Structure 1
């Protein structure tokens, strides 16, 4: 087995308000795929690493390359693989162990030793994709048609999260759906729900700008809960929606899902907010509402690549900015300003 190196520019988070662009030496083995990164999208976790030096319980202990929503071109492929040099690929950032009980049950997203790219969960951390070159396994590299735009395909990872949430709800054919939180994930859930057969897909957000984006992504109706009485008709007759996707993580929003969901309906919790919330357990029980958690994705990444490649979902209304890697700090600041930005991408 031979070890090779390539010099490349990368965006590294060092700690709170400390992100740097540096030249580094990237090592890779014969069995690795070397991918020349085209572009990647900034996620909420990238923003948290910049703002706080941590994302949830994952704390930066040493510099780490951020980013896990990215696409690129194969620069070097292992002998005997189905990949070829010059091929465009979306890179699945998940690296499950594939031998624990959850992996063997086909629930790789629940793998307790998941090596997720751009994550500080473990020490040493797993470097992400905001780098001129990255290494990946053959299984992580999902080819896509050269005619598809990289700025579209860079939405594969967040769309995979959305499709997994939709799958967690069960069949949506003919169902009335509400999405609370019309950020990038919420808007992609809305589009995926419509693609999966929902008859109505309503968006709820405290930001009118986000509600406008939801309309561009296909929302059949929208409402701002800060406007008095805006949710009233949806709470009548013990709730209106068959399925509610809670994508904001707001404690108040999570609490509101019970009143908005019809008896025997389903609430899919996607948004991550406070560690604990006040929740109306008795009304939830009386209405027999099913409350389901949805975390990351499994094989939905491949589905997301296909949907984007085929134009089944157009995510571009969500693209609000493109930056060079040298401007990573400005890009992170812009991405964190939800009054101005939805999805910001770094273009290498």
Structure 2
């Protein structure tokens, strides 16, 4: 590895369907950006999709791309620990100027094939990023915890889309990593009651650790009070992307309550329009985050949310295939992380 105007670093590249590996790449460090040595990265469902299918949704790889958008590291020259916001909005379009930068029409988001050329992700030994993408944090907080900054941001934004949860009854359908982080964030934000549902007993158990009051399998009969009198829950978060769960949310969300759609799956079109209209349910989408990224960093730094029940295993980044194989096994894994730590490296 060389560090200078033309850096050479090892990055985790996806080349196509089922093709992922390490590649030495070069990039320039510009004067208006900050050099960050990556220490930890979390594998997201989108990384798994690129590995399994060579794309995600309507977007397929046109050329190799560096994976990863859940990363933390240290500023190279000072050693300051930082969480890296994977969003680089233009700051000039209508959405950016109106405070909705997550909808930026010129967004450059780590590890995304939505643009061509694609935007490389953060699974690399070093990154050169704008100062605005870095949120410093206390270096006594473990990498295990702080690598959850990005997914926790997604959870907090979902809560904000619901209009808050203080004193409210909350339902979360789908207790994977994001669903469980929504549960933890709802508890931190003052929800009065939190119920989770998932087909997996393991996921339900973790949901209880993350703050759910009760959990159920959608295959069992839920309490009749949840559907009586036009519904029980003030706010529902649908995080499974299952049509049946979506219908359940409509039935269990009270009239004039809020339903936030978190999970995404192509072709999910079965929509009970009549029920939604009659109950005047406020249905909202949620997409990434805006200022919630810094909020997530502070919550993790202060211990307001403990994400560690979700952490399954940490692999050296050189073992990316093994890490992806475990991460794609939803019967065994919740969140798999990659360590980029170089114990013998000194700051300059």
Per the alignment, residue 82 of structure 1 pairs with none
What displacement does 1:232 show?
Answer: 3.6
Per the alignment, residue 275 of structure 1 pairs with 267
Match 2:293 to one of 273, 293, 301: 301
Per the alignment, residue 198 of structure 1 pairs with 191
Match 1:337 to one of 304, 311, 329: 329
For the pair 1:287 / 2:288, whether they are aligned, the reply is: no
Match 1:90 to one of 80, 83, 88: 83
Per the alignment, residue 58 of structure 1 pairs with 59
What displacement does 1:231 show?
Answer: 5.1
Distance in 2 between residues matched to 1:280 and 1:255, nearest whole Å? 7
Mapped contact 2:241–2:268 kept (Cα < 8 A): no
Match 1:116 to one of 109, 115, 122: 109
What displacement does 1:307 show?
Answer: 0.3
Per the alignment, residue 310 of structure 2 pairs with 318
Mapped contact 1:161–1:297 kept (Cα < 8 A): yes
Q: Which runs of 4+ in 1 moved over 3 A?
A: none
For the pair 1:44 / 2:45, whether they are aligned, the reply is: yes
Alignment of 1:202-241 (within 5 A): 202-227=195-220, 229-230=221-222, 232-241=224-233
Distance in 2 between residues matched to 1:276 and 1:178, nearest whole Å? 20
Mapped contact 1:250–1:274 kept (Cα < 8 A): no
Per the alignment, residue 151 of structure 1 pairs with 144
Instruction: Give the gaps of 5 or more residues in structure 2.
Output: 341-348
Mapped contact 1:225–1:231 kept (Cα < 8 A): no
For the pair 1:257 / 2:257, whether they are aligned, the reply is: no
Instruction: Give the gaps of 5 or more residues in structure 1.
Output: 77-84
Question: Cα–Cα, structure 1 residues 270 and 5, in superposed 2: closer, same or farther, change >3 Å?
Answer: same
The secondary structure found in structure 2 opposite 1:302 is helix
Mapped contact 1:213–1:318 kept (Cα < 8 A): yes
What displacement does 1:173 show?
Answer: 1.4
What displacement does 1:236 show?
Answer: 2.1
Structure 1-normalised TM-score? 0.95
What displacement does 1:237 show?
Answer: 2.2
Distance in 2 between residues matched to 1:108 and 1:255, nearest whole Å? 31
Distance in 1 between residues matched to 2:45 and 2:28, nearest whole Å? 28
Distance in 2 between residues matched to 1:339 and 1:236, nearest whole Å? 34
Distance in 1 between residues matched to 2:155 and 2:267, nearest whole Å? 22
Mapped contact 2:161–2:284 kept (Cα < 8 A): yes
What displacement does 1:11 show?
Answer: 0.6
Mapped contact 1:158–1:185 kept (Cα < 8 A): yes
RMSD, matched Cα: 1.1
What displacement does 1:58 show?
Answer: 2.2
What displacement does 1:257 show?
Answer: 1.2
The secondary structure found in structure 2 opposite 1:34 is strand
Per the alignment, residue 80 of structure 1 pairs with none
The C-alpha deviation readout for 1:20-45, integer Å capped at 9, x for no partner, is 11222232111111110001000010
Q: How many residues align?
A: 337
